[in-house]
Structure 1
Amino acid sequence: MAQPKKKADRNLDRSSWVAAARKTLIEKGISGISLRQLAEELGATTGAFYWQFGNLEELLEEVRRDWADRNTAPFTEAIESAGDDGWQQYLAYVSVLLKEDQYVPAYDNAVRDWAHSSLRTAEVLRETEALRIEQLRRIFIALGFEGRAASVRAHVTYFSQTGYNAMQVTEPREERLLNVPYYADVLTDRQDLLRLKTAQDVSNHILADKRAKS
C-alpha cells in the first residue's frame, strides 16, 4: 500500500534533503543517516525522497559536494577579495577562521570521520584539502616565500588549524585572538600584529581589513 502524502512532501526539493543530511552528519555522524530518519526529520514520506533522488548514495554524493563547496568557498571568496597583496590575503584567511559564520569546523570534522569508512568520501576529502593547501601556498608565495618554504608554511598552517578543530580546543575567544599575532609572526615572519595589545584590537584590525576589501 502506497504511503499517504504528507503536507511537507510538496515543499521539499533536493536542497532540503541535503540540509537535513548535513545536520545529521554533523550531530550524529554518518551512521546516523538513514532514509527513514531523514524523512522523519523533514516530516515527509520516504516516497518524497525518491521524487528527488534515485537512492541514498546519490544524496550522500551531494552531501560530499555540499561540504567541499560550503566549507571552502568562504576562504576562496575572502582571499580573492583581498587582491594581490599576500599579507591582506593572509588576514582575509584568518578572518574566516575567526568569524565562523560561514565556515563550520564541525562539518570538516564530520567529513573526516566519515572518510574512515568511505573510500569515496576519503577521495573528496583529499581533493578538497589539496585545494585548500594550494590556496595557502599561493598566499605564502604572494608574501615572498619561494618553493619549499611556501609549501611547508602552507602545510603547517593547514595542519595546525585542522588539528585545532579535531581536538575541539575550547579556549576562550579572547585567548585565541591574543594568539593570532604570534601565529602570524611564526608563519609569515611579519610582526605587524604584535603591536596590538588587546583581543579587541586584534579582532577590529583583522575584521576591518576584511570589510575594507569587500
Structure 2
Amino acid sequence: MSKVSSILHRDDPDKPPLGGHVKVTREDWLNVARDILISEGVGQVKVLGIAERLDVSRSSFYWYFKSRKDLLNQLLDDWDKTNTGIMVRHTEIPAETITGALNNFFRCVVDPEGFNHQLDFAVREWARRDGSVRRVIDRADTVRHAAIAKMFERHGYEANEADIRARVLYYQQLGYYALDLAETVEERLTRVAGYLYCFSGVPPLDEEVAEFTEFTRKVTAG
C-alpha cells in the first residue's frame, strides 16, 4: 500500500476545511481505495478504513463521494480510463514497422507508470462477484483488442489475421502476469527479438531491439 503524505491539498481551496488534521483530495481517497482493492480485495474497500488510513474524519468522505457505491463507481471509471486508455494510446503511437509498433505497445506494460497489471487483476477478481463490473471488464477487453487489431491492420495485415494476432498478443500479455513468473528484467530482454518475430512474423530491426532494451532498463532501474 502506498504511503499517504501528511501534507496534502484540497481540490477546491474555496471550500471550508475538512475534518481532522490532514486535508486530503478526492485523488487521495481514490489512491488509498485502489491500494486496498489491490492488496485486500473490494470487500475491504470501506469508508471508515480509508478514513483511518488517511487520518481524517469519516464525514470528510462525503465531500467528494455520495456513498461507498459512488466511490467504487469512480474507482472503476478511473481504472478504465487509465489502464484501458494507456494501452489504446500506445497502440496508436506512429511507427514505421509493425515491430516498432509492438515495441510501443510493450512500453506501456514494462513501464511501472504505465499499465497496472495488479490493478487489472484486482478488478477482474472484483468482477467475479459483481455482474455489472463483469460487463465493464468485457467492454474494456473489447476496446483493447480492437485497438491492437487496428494496429496490425495499419501495418498491412488483413482483418482476420490482425484479429488473431491481436488476440494472441493480448491474451499472452495477461497470461504472463497471471502466471506471476519470476523472470528478471534481463531474462525478459533476451527474448525481445524472438517475441517480436513471433507476434508479427517479421524479424525486428537491431536498432528497434536496442532501443526497447535501453528504454526498459531505464524505467525499471532501481
> TM-score, normalization: structure 1?
0.84
Counterpart-to-counterpart distance in 2, 1:57 and 1:84: 45
Distance 2:122 2:44 in 1: 11
Pair 1:34-2:49 in alignment: no
Q: Which residue of 2 aligns with 1:203?
A: 213
Establish whether residue 5 from structure 1 lines up as the match of residue 19 from structure 2.
Answer: yes
Match of 1:155 in 2: 167
Structure 1, unmatched stretches of 5+, are 208-214
Match of 1:68 among 76, 80, 101: 80
List per-residue Cα deviations over 1:148-171 (Å, max 9, x = no partner). Answer: 211011011100110111121121
Hey, what does 1:20 align to over in structure 2? 32
Taking structure 2 as the reference length, the TM-score comes to 0.81
CA–CA separation in structure 2 for the residues paired with 1:87 and 1:185 = 8
Is the CA contact 2:189–2:213 (under 8 Å) kept in the aligned structure 1? yes
Distance 1:84 1:40 in 2: 51
Q: How many residues align?
A: 199
CA distance in 1, matches of 2:95, 2:199: 20
User: CA 1:174–1:5 in structure 2 vs 1: closer, same or farther (change >3 Å)?
Assistant: same
Deviations 1:130-157 (A, max 9, x none): 1111111011112221122110110111
CA RMSD of aligned residues (A): 2.4
SS state of the match for residue 80, structure 2?
Answer: helix
Residue 202 of structure 1 deviates from its aligned partner by 5.0
The answer for unaligned runs of 5 or more in structure 2 is 1-17, 217-222
Deviation at 1:115, TM superposition (A): 0.7
Which secondary structure state, in structure 2, belongs to the residue aligned with residue 7 of structure 1? coil
Match of 2:11 in 1: none
Percent of aligned pairs sharing the same letter: 25
2:145 and 2:167 in contact (8 A); partners too:
yes
Q: 1:33 Cα shift?
A: 1.1
